[in-house]
Each structure stands twice: as C-alpha cells, then as structure tokens.
Structure 1
Amino acid sequence: MSDNGGRRSSFMQSMRAVMWSFLGVRKRRDLEADATHLNPLHVIVAALICTAIFIGVLIFVVRLVVG
C-alpha cells in the first residue's frame, strides 16, 4: 500500500506539488510519489489557481513598472 495508509492526499498537498513544479525543483522520488498519491482533479484545480495567481502577479508587476 501507500505510505499514507491508502488515503488520497489533500488539496493542500496538491497545491504544494504544483507550486514546486512551477519552480521546476522536484526530486524524482517526490515526483513518483505525487504520481501515485495525488488526486488528478486536485492537481488540475491547483494548477489553474496557480496559473491565475502567476498571471495576476505578472500583470501587477507590468502595471507597476509602466505606470
């Protein structure tokens, strides 16, 4: 079984995995653990949230620099 007692991971674990993936600093064993434990729906929602935050930060920085 899995190391977390067979339970699926929480949404916050999915958010953490997506944020680390955005930075590109994932260890292979963490990536393999994510592939077996994370809920795919949580990962998709977390990725959409992180993408929206990233775009919002970019727009804020551009407006700060330009205006």
Structure 2
Amino acid sequence: MSGSTGERSSAYIITSIRYWVIHSITIPSLFIAGWLFVSPAFTWKNRRFRLPCQTDKSRNCR
C-alpha cells in the first residue's frame, strides 16, 4: 500500500448501500425542487398572455 492516498475505488462506492440511500433521496429531491421553482413561472406566463375576458363575447370567462 505504499503511495496510497486512502481514496476508495469507484466500484466500492457504487456497490455501497450508503451511496444508493443518499442518492435515492437527493436526486428525486432535486427534480421536485426544480419543478416547484419553475411551475409558478409557467402559470404566470400563461395568465399574462391570455386575452382579457371582456373581448371574448362567445364564451363565459371566469
């Protein structure tokens, strides 16, 4: 072991249960956080560019 830096091999890390527990929580959390951050912007954009109800006589607008 002369010259070893003490780092674990990639195979050891990937086969570790701790690795999968941590990543099974963090990766979905990042997707959920991103969706929660971006989804209000889509709603705001759709409402902003919609035509006003006063000009639309053929439908009932709320």
TM-score (normalised: structure 1): 0.43
TM-score (normalised: structure 2): 0.46
More helix by share: 1
